[in-house]
Each structure stands twice: as C-alpha cells, then as structure tokens.
Structure 1
Amino acid sequence: MTLIKSISGIRGTIGGVPGNNLTPIDAVRYAAAYGSWIKQQRDKESYRVVVGRDARISGEMVQQLVMNTLVGLGINVIDLGLSTTPTVEVAVALEHADGGIILTASHNPKEWNALKLLNSKGEFLNAKAGQEILDIAEKGDTTFADVDSLGAITVNDAYIDMHIDEILDLPLVNVEAIKKAKLKVVVDAVNSTGGIAIPLLLDALDVHCTKLYCTPNGEFPHNPEPLKEHLGDLMELVVEEQADFGIVVDPDVDRLAFVDEKGEMFGEEYTLVAVADYVLGHTPGNTVSNMSSSRALRDITEKHGGSYTASAVGEVNVVQQMKDTNAVIGGEGNGGVIYPELHYGRDSLVGIALFLSFLAEQNKTVSEIRAQYPAYFMSKKKITLTPQLDVDLLLKTMAERYASEEIKTIDGVKIDFPENWVHLRKSNTEPIIRIYTEARSQQEADELANRFIAEIKEITGI
C-alpha cells in the first residue's frame, strides 16, 4: 500500500502501518503541520480553516481527525461536510478564511484518500509553501493550544447552494437561454458529491436531470476516472433517454467530461476547448493550459485573436501562468476548467453552466459542436529507466537533438513540430519517463510515441 507526501498535500491508502499508508496518525500529523504553517503566516487573534470532503467511505473518519487536530491547535473550523473541491475553494474566499483542506483522492479508487491543502485565497499551495509544511511534519514542530485557547467547529452546509448562486450570477452564464432551451441530460457522479451539487445546479437552470450513480455513499460503481472505457453505462443511458448529452465528473467534481447525444465521448481534452470557445466569443483574451494538453485550445484561442501559453503540468502552475498572462479562461486537458471570473481553481460546476450557455446559444447538438473543432488524437506512454540513469542529462540530450524545433523545457522537454508534438516528463517518484504525444490521427500519435521510445533506448542503451 502507499503513502505519497508531496508539496500539494498527502495522499495514500487507508489502513496499514503509519508512515507507509494514510492512517489516523498520518492524518493528524499532516493536519497539525498544516495548522502550524497557517499560524506562522500571520500573527493574529484567531484563525479559521474551511474543511470539506468528497463521499469516500473513509471521508468522515479522516475529516473528524483533521478538524479536531486543527481545534487542538486553537484554529476554528468551518465544516462543510460533504462538498466538492471547487466549493471548498469558493468558501475559503467568501469566508475570508486563512486556508482550507479538501479530503479527497480525486479520481483514485475508493481505498485512497488525501488531504489537499489551500491557501487563504482558496488556491492550491505553491512549491515553497508545500515544502514548508512537509518540513514541519518531518520535524514534528507543533505546539498545541491550552484548554482555554482551543478552536471550535461551526457546521455550514449551505456552501454548495452559495457556490451555485455565485455561478448563476456570472454575466456569461445565460440563465434565460438555458431555461428556454429545455435541455435534458444524464449525470454520472460516481456516487460522490457531484450527485448532490450537479442536480442542484441543473434544477436551478430548469434542465431535466436523469441521475446515474448520484447517491453520495462512496461506493464507486466503476473506476472513478472519467475516461471512455469506464463510462459504458452513461453512454447507453444517454441514448436510451434521448438526452441532449451526458455529464460525468470525478469524485471531487474538478474534472468534467461530456457524452454527446449519440452516446459518443465528446473528448475530455475538448471540455476546456468548448468552454473556452464560448468564453472567448464573448470576452476575447488569452488562455493557458498545461504542456500535456491538446493543441486545440491554442487553435481556438488564435481564432478569437488571443494568445495561448502552455504552463508546466500541475494546477498551481496553470493558475500562476493565467495570472501572469491575464488569461480569461484556462485549465487542464483532463477536463479541468478554470474560470477566473469566479475563482482560480478547476471547477466542473462553472464548466457545466458555461457549456450549457454555449449549447443554448448555438442551437446545435453536442456532436455538431464537437465537429467544429480540429481533430487531434493523443497517446500517453512511459518507459522504465534504470535507477542509475541521469534523467536530466537524457532530457537535455533530447532537447539538443531537436534544437531546430520549438522547444520548451520548463517541465521536462516539449518538442512542438508543425503537425504534432511530444512531451517528455520524468516522474518524481519512480525511474520512468512519461511520453505524451498528439497528432492528427491515433496511428500518428502512437507512432510518434514509439519513435521517441526507440530514440531514448538508443541513447541510453536500455
């Protein structure tokens, strides 16, 4: 089993041995480190942290441990209970809180859970802050409060409704057009908190919602990563119900994918592309996605007269690049939509509302909208290296070999060819290189990946 400590938080499998798995002791240790870090940021009379969770079976146990650890540090807690990652992010900002913790392992199976850590803006921590918390945990440098200085827990279960209200107030969410369109959708929320939030949003927009796996009990009916091979039930039900399209989210509702009216995948990479097309059509500007996301976003951005920038992989990197370039929309190709008009975080709820607005205004089917975009196909492979190999030197060699092409080295090596691209990234946890490619056909994408695997083997002799 596994415990992974990183600058973005701590995640692991429930049970087992402390230090090797996510046990109650580990949850307390890292909650204490985070709480200590919060208190180091500002010297003030009182502190508040927002805590929410997805519907994982272990969620309530972990949340109680985390909240009461913060109470023991003298920190007040706003308990959102069952919530979504973007809702917690919005709540931190609305509460003017000192930070937030989301208890979710995103798309990982049910035996996993995690503490995802937010700053006072409701955004994920940067590398410096994350490392400071890891250092505090390593040293055990925590001083708890005395009996007269303990924090308190306040329950607030209204924040999903408040999050939806914030979305409905956005100028680009065309509530009137959506209601007039009388749309019908099927929602697969993988029995987590999307099953609470998405039907509420759709009901507010007068969109007919057929629920599939919307009971928030943490019993995931299929692999919770929203990929085509896991979504057969949704694809069938969309056709059976004669719905306009299907919606699927991951357990914490920050990844969004669609199924068209024919029961075909819209393409997770194209969630952001379609939403960006709508946003840019109303508010021209710049966009950002990470280096492993589809080139289609660049194409759409340039069509609208904007400038596209690729960031290093990771939400915190996308957000920083968005701020640096004043991007009006951005995100990640895994279905993560970041709309800064609301907040700087991947948010499936705002993504759904913007897509519904687009659909209502276009008066086209979802498959017709998808056909408007350039067709790109991706391949994702990896190659195992010997532990002794100097991966950084290998990546430098690859960059030098293709120096005549457009090269980016902020996150591994990305080589942009005129008709396709390849992105080589080293893993921080195991001796592998991940090879992402994109081209105009699946065969071409696979062949490009295999070509670079062969080149790496040739250079390294493995």
Structure 2
Amino acid sequence: MTLIKSISGIRGTVGGAVGENLTPIDVVKFTTAYVRFMTEQNDGKRLTIVVGRDARISGEMVDDLIEGTLLGCGADVINVGLCTTPGTEMAVICNRADGGIIITASHNPRQWNALKLLNARGEFLNDAEGKRVLALAEDESFLYPEIDSIGRVLSREPFNDEHIRRVLALPLVDAEAVKARKFKVVVDAVNSVGGVVIPKLLRELGCEVVELNCEPTGYFAHNPEPLPENLTEISQVIVREGADLGVVVDPDVDRLAFVSEDGSMFVEEYTLVAVADYILSHAKGSTVSNLSSSRALRDVTERHGCEYFASAVGEVNVVAKMKEVGAVIGGEGNGGVIYPELHYGRDALVGVALFLTYLAQKNMKMTELRRSYPAYFASKNKIQLTPAIDVDKVLREIKARYAGENVNDIDGVKIDFAESWVHLRKSNTEPIIRIYTEAKSMDEADALARRFMDEIKTICNL
C-alpha cells in the first residue's frame, strides 16, 4: 500500500495505516494544508473552493471529508459532484473561485484515489506552490476557526452540461458538419464519469452512440489506462457494430484515445497530432508538447509553417511553455489535448469535438487520416537502480558522451538523432531511470532502447 506526496497533491491507496496510505486523517491533513496555502496567497481573505470527483468507489467518502474540512477551515464550497478533471478546472474559472480540489487518481486502479490541487486559474499548482503545501502539512500549529467563521456550502450543482455547452460553442467546433456525417461511435469510459459526459457530448453532435463500460460505478471493467493492451474489447465491438470509430477516456477524462473503424489503434500519441493539424489549418501559431511526446507533432507543426516547442514532462510545465510562446494548441502524448481557447487543461471533451469536426470536414475514414501522418513507433522502458547510485551523475555521463548530438537537458536528457530520439529521466518516487525511445519502426525503437539500457548498466556497473 502506498502514499505518494508530491507537488501536484497527494495520491495513495485507500485504507491502512495513517501516513502510509490515503486515510481519512491524511485527507483532512492535506486539505487543511491546501487551505492554509491558499489563504496565504489571498492575503487572508475568505476562500471559495470548488470540489469535484470522478466515479471511484472511494469518491463520495473522500468528497465528504474534503468538503467538511474546507468548511471547518473557514472556506466556502462549490461542490460540482461527479465531474471530469477538465470540468472541475473550468468550474473554478466560471465561478471565479479561489481554487479547486479534484478527487481522482486519474488512470490508477480502483483502490487508489488522490487530491489534485488547483489555483484560481483552474490550473495545477507549480513546483514551488506544491512544495509549500507539503511543508504546511507537516506544521500542526494551525488553529481552526471558531463557530461564527466556519464555511458554507454555496451550491451543489453539476457542471457537466455547462462544460459541454462551452465546448460546442467554440468557433472551430462545427457541430453541423459532424451531424451531417452521422458517425457511429463506440465509447469506452471505463465505468467512470466519462460514461456520463462523453455519450451526451456525442449525441449533441448528432452521433449514434454505442456505450461500453459507461455506467459510472467505479468498478473499472479493465485496467483504466487507455493503452492498446487494455482496449481489446472496444476493438471487437467497433468491428461487430460497423462503427466509424471508438472513443476511449481514462477515469477523470483528461486523456483521450481513438480506435479506428477496423479496430486498430489510432494511437493516443496521435490524438494531439490530429487536433493540432486541424487547429493549425485555421489558426497559425506555435505548438507545445513534453519531451517524451511523439516527434509527429513537430513534423505536422512545421508542415504548417509554424514552430514547435518542447517542455519538461508534466501538465503544469506544458501549460507554462504554452503561455510563454503563445501556443495555439498543445498537450501531452498520452492523449492530453490542451486548447487555450477553452482553458489551460487537458480536456478529452474538447479533443473529441475538435477531432470529429476535422474528420467530418476531411471526409475521411479513421485509417485514412492516420496514414496521412508520419509513422513513428515508441518504446517505453525503465531500469531499476540501487538507491546508492547517483542518477544525476549517470545522466551527466550520457549527456557528455553525446555532446555532438542535439541534446535537451531541461528534464533529464533527451537526444535527438536524425531519424529517432531517446529520452532518459529519473523517477521522483523510486530509484529508476525511465528510457523512452521513438523511431521509424518498432524494431528500431526497441533496439535504441536496448542500446541505452546497456550503456546505463555499464556506467552503473550493473
């Protein structure tokens, strides 16, 4: 059982010992620390905090604990209930709240849950802010307010319909073009909140929807990470139903993967690539993804005569880079689409609407659209190290060995070769080095990974 305290919040398995798992005591402790931090940021004024959750089995329990703690800390609460991560982020913005807490462990299995912490812009806290929350969690000198100063629940109203309405109102979402295509779509929402919002969005766009694992019970029908090995069922249903495509989301609906009409994976790396292709055909500007994302986004961006930028891994880093360069579209290769015209957060709803608009306007099948993009193959590996090994020293050695290549060291070491790349980064939570590679074939990607794994083992005398 595990409790992970990081700059982005607190994540753990439910139950067990205090301080070692996500227990009620830990939920109260970190919620209190978050309120203290937000009060510091707002010069002591009374706060309004939005709370939303995915459909995990522990969601209601954690929600009740957080709401009660917020009230006990003197903060007012807007509780949007069963809501996606991007929906909760938007609820912070639309309600002009001071912050938000999202109750979700994203793609982790059902025994996990987490508190994800937002600022007044509906964005995740940055590194320094997250560290301050963690420090405050260890300080027990806080005095809770007395009876006349406790908080109030301002509302308990869903936000999902408003989220859908704002997506459909975007100028580059052409609902009429999508309706004219009469797409038949299979949706796998892995028994979470996506089963509530994605089918409704698709029906608003005139699609015929086949629901698969859409009842939001929290009992995930399969491993909730939207990877090919977890999506065999939807592939079979698409072919059997004669559907045009499949839509797959993770439990909190910030990641988006598509499946083609023949049951093959569109590949989640290409979700952002296709959406960016569409956006850049209408609005010229830069794009951003993290260092571990596919080179295909760079290729498509340059095809439109625009400039691509890479950020460190992590949504908060992608958002910071997007703001710095004024990007018109960005995100992460895990199927996370960030469209600033709506908000600065990974959002599967806006990804679905923009993607279907483009597919309708191109009048293509999914497999045809996929073949229009550069073909890259990724290999993701890791090496277990002993705690005594200096990972930073290992990465410095690799960087020195390849100083003649195109090297980026803003997050570990990424080496760009002519036809491939390798990205090496250390884990923040365990003694491992992650080795991600990409090349023009799977064999080449795997071979490149083995080469660098062998080099690292030699350096470490493993």
Give the TM-score band, short-chain normalised.
over 0.9
Pairing 1:409–2:409 present: yes
Residue identity matched to 1:168:
L
Q: For the residues of structure 1 that align with 2:183 and 2:443, how far apart are their CA atoms?
A: 36
Q: For the residues of structure 2 that align with 1:12 and 1:193, how far apart are their CA atoms?
A: 20
Residue identity matched to 2:326:
N
Q: Which residue of 1 aligns with 2:70?
A: 70
Partner of 2:16, secondary structure, is: coil
For the 8 Å contact 1:33–1:142, the answer to whether it is kept is no
CA offsets 1:166-224 (integer angstroms, 9 cap, x no match): 11111100111111111110000000000011111112111111110100110100000
Q: Which residue of 1 aligns with 2:181?
A: 181
Partner of 1:210, secondary structure, is: strand
CA offsets 1:214-247 (integer angstroms, 9 cap, x no match): 0011010000000111111111111111111000
Identity of matched residues, %: 62
For the 8 Å contact 2:272–2:330, the answer to whether it is kept is yes
Q: Which residue of 2 aligns with 1:298?
A: 298
Q: Which residue of 2 aligns with 1:60?
A: 60
Residue 156 of structure 1 deviates from its aligned partner by 3.6
Partner of 1:78, secondary structure, is: strand
For the 8 Å contact 2:82–2:158, the answer to whether it is kept is no
Pairing 1:335–2:338 present: no
Q: Which residue of 2 aligns with 1:102?
A: 102
Q: For the residues of structure 2 that align with 1:30 and 1:202, how far apart are their CA atoms?
A: 37
Residue identity matched to 2:69:
T
Q: For the residues of structure 1 that align with 2:202 and 2:156, how far apart are their CA atoms?
A: 22
For the 8 Å contact 1:33–1:141, the answer to whether it is kept is no
- CA RMSD, aligned part only? 0.9
Pairing 1:190–2:172 present: no
Q: For the residues of structure 2 that align with 1:282 and 1:107, how far apart are their CA atoms?
A: 33
Residue identity matched to 2:235:
M
Q: Which segment drifts farther, 413-422 or 133-142?
A: 133-142
Q: Which residue of 1 aligns with 2:314?
A: 314
Pairing 1:362–2:362 present: yes
Structure 1: gaps of 5 or more residues:
none
Pairing 1:352–2:323 present: no
Q: For the residues of structure 2 that align with 1:102 and 1:391, how far apart are their CA atoms?
A: 33
For the 8 Å contact 2:81–2:158, the answer to whether it is kept is no
Partner of 2:361, secondary structure, is: helix
Give the alignment of 1:170-249 within 5 angstroms.
Answer: 170-249=170-249
Q: Which residue of 1 aligns with 2:395?
A: 395
Pairing 1:89–2:89 present: yes
Residue 46 of structure 1 deviates from its aligned partner by 2.6
Q: For the residues of structure 2 that align with 1:55 and 1:428, how far apart are their CA atoms?
A: 28
Pairing 1:434–2:434 present: yes
Q: For the residues of structure 1 that align with 2:183 and 2:156, how far apart are their CA atoms?
A: 32
Residue identity matched to 1:433:
I
For the 8 Å contact 2:312–2:411, the answer to whether it is kept is yes
Residue identity matched to 1:243:
A
Partner of 1:49, secondary structure, is: strand
Q: For the residues of structure 2 that align with 1:155 and 1:261, how far apart are their CA atoms?
A: 43
Q: Which segment drifts farther, 156-165 or 402-411?
A: 156-165
Q: For the residues of structure 1 that align with 2:139 and 2:44, how far apart are their CA atoms?
A: 24
For the 8 Å contact 2:39–2:46, the answer to whether it is kept is no
Q: For the residues of structure 2 that align with 1:157 and 1:298, how far apart are their CA atoms?
A: 41
CA 1:350 to 1:141, structure 2 compared with 1: closer, same or farther past 3 Å?
A: farther
For the 8 Å contact 2:286–2:307, the answer to whether it is kept is yes
For the 8 Å contact 1:78–1:153, the answer to whether it is kept is yes
CA 1:141 to 1:372, structure 2 compared with 1: closer, same or farther past 3 Å?
A: farther
Q: Which residue of 2 aligns with 1:137?
A: 137
For the 8 Å contact 1:186–1:237, the answer to whether it is kept is yes
Q: For the residues of structure 2 that align with 1:235 and 1:143, how far apart are their CA atoms?
A: 55
Q: For the residues of structure 2 that align with 1:32 and 1:222, how far apart are their CA atoms?
A: 34
Residue identity matched to 2:369:
I
Give the alignment of 1:33-52 within 5 angstroms.
Answer: 33-43=33-43, 45-52=45-52
CA offsets 1:23-43 (integer angstroms, 9 cap, x no match): 000000000100111111113
Q: Which residue of 1 aligns with 2:283?
A: 283
For the 8 Å contact 1:101–1:115, the answer to whether it is kept is yes
Structure 2: gaps of 5 or more residues:
none
Residue 44 of structure 1 deviates from its aligned partner by 5.5
Give the alignment of 1:140-155 within 5 angstroms.
Answer: 140-155=140-155
For the 8 Å contact 1:136–1:142, the answer to whether it is kept is no
Q: For the residues of structure 2 that align with 1:387 and 1:158, how far apart are their CA atoms?
A: 46
Residue 45 of structure 1 deviates from its aligned partner by 4.7
Residue identity matched to 2:277:
D
Partner of 2:198, secondary structure, is: helix
CA 1:45 to 1:461, structure 2 compared with 1: closer, same or farther past 3 Å?
A: closer
Residue 314 of structure 1 deviates from its aligned partner by 0.3
Partner of 1:19, secondary structure, is: coil
Q: For the residues of structure 2 that align with 1:222 and 1:17, how far apart are their CA atoms?
A: 28
Pairing 1:118–2:115 present: no
Runs of 4+ in 1 over 6 A off after TM superposition: none
For the 8 Å contact 2:412–2:425, the answer to whether it is kept is yes
Aligned length, in residue pairs: 462
CA 1:143 to 1:445, structure 2 compared with 1: closer, same or farther past 3 Å?
A: same
Residue identity matched to 1:436:
Y
For the 8 Å contact 1:33–1:140, the answer to whether it is kept is no
For the 8 Å contact 2:315–2:331, the answer to whether it is kept is yes
Q: For the residues of structure 2 that align with 1:388 and 1:216, how far apart are their CA atoms?
A: 45
Residue 143 of structure 1 deviates from its aligned partner by 2.5
For the 8 Å contact 1:55–1:192, the answer to whether it is kept is yes
